[in-house]
C-alpha cells in the first residue's frame, strides 16, 4: 500500500486555457470520465465519455490509441486524477489532467439534447 502513495505521477496537470488551445488546434482528445448522465448534462465539445467508476473502464481504455494525447476531466478533478493514473498504468504516454475539472472550464459547453 505504501508504494501506491510513493509512486511518481506519470501525467501532467494542465489549465483550462491550455486544454482549450490544444483542442482548438486538433491536438488530442478530450476525455470526460463522469457518468453518462453527467456527460449528457454538459461536456466539452468533441469529448468522448468513459465512466472511470464503471467496472469496464480499463477494458474501454483498450479501444483508445495509447499514443494520442488525452485531456481528461471530471466535475472537479478527483475522478480525472484516478483516471489519469489508470491510463498511465495501462501505457498511455500523453495524459493530461484538467485542473479544476469542468468547474474550471470557461469555454463552450455542449449538451446532449
Say which CATH number the domain at 18 has.
Answer: 3.40.250.10
Its domain, for residue 88, covers 8-104
Higher pLDDT, residue 82 or 4 = 82
For CA atoms 80, 85, 90, 92, the dihedral sign is positive
The pLDDT, as a whole number, for residue 10 is: 84
Over residues 42-55, mean pLDDT? 96
Choose between 74 and 4: higher pLDDT: 74
pLDDT at 17 over 50: yes
9 or 17: which leads in pLDDT:
17
Name the β-bridge partners of 49.
32
In-domain check, residue 54: yes
Q: Who's near 36: CB < 8 A, 6+ residues apart?
A: 49, 51
Residue 113: inside a domain, yes or no?
no
C-alpha cell at 17: 486555457
And the C-alpha cell for 2? 505504501
The CA-CA-CA angle for residues 66, 89, 58, to 5°, reads 70
Asked if residue 16 is part of any domain, the answer here is yes
Average pLDDT across the chain, whole number: 91
**Domain-located, residue 33:** yes
- Which residues lie closer than 8 Å to 78 by C-beta, 6 or more apart? 101
Split at pLDDT 50, 70, 90, the class of 1 is very low
Active site residues: 74
pTM of structure: 0.90
Per-residue pLDDT band for 23 (boundaries 50, 70, 90) equals confident
Number of domains in the chain: 1
Residue 13 lies in a domain: yes
What's the full length of the chain, in residues? Answer: 113
**110 in a structural domain:** no
Amino acid at each position: 500500500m505504501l508504494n501506491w502513495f510513493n509512486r511518481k505521477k506519470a501525467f501532467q496537470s494542465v489549465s483550462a486555457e491550455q486544454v482549450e488551445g490544444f483542442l482548438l488546434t486538433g491536438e488530442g482528445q478530450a476525455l470526460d470520465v463522469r457518468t453518462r448522465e453527467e456527460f449528457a448534462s454538459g461536456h466539452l465539445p468533441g469529448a468522448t465519455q468513459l465512466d472511470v467508476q464503471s467496472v469496464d473502464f480499463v477494458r474501454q481504455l483498450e479501444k483508445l490509441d495509447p499514443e494520442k494525447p488525452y485531456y481528461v476531466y471530471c466535475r472537479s478533478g478527483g475522478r480525472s486524477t484516478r483516471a489519469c493514473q489508470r491510463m498511465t498504468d495501462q501505457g498511455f504516454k500523453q495524459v493530461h489532467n484538467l485542473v479544476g475539472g469542468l468547474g474550471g472550464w470557461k469555454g463552450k459547453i455542449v449538451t446532449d439534447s
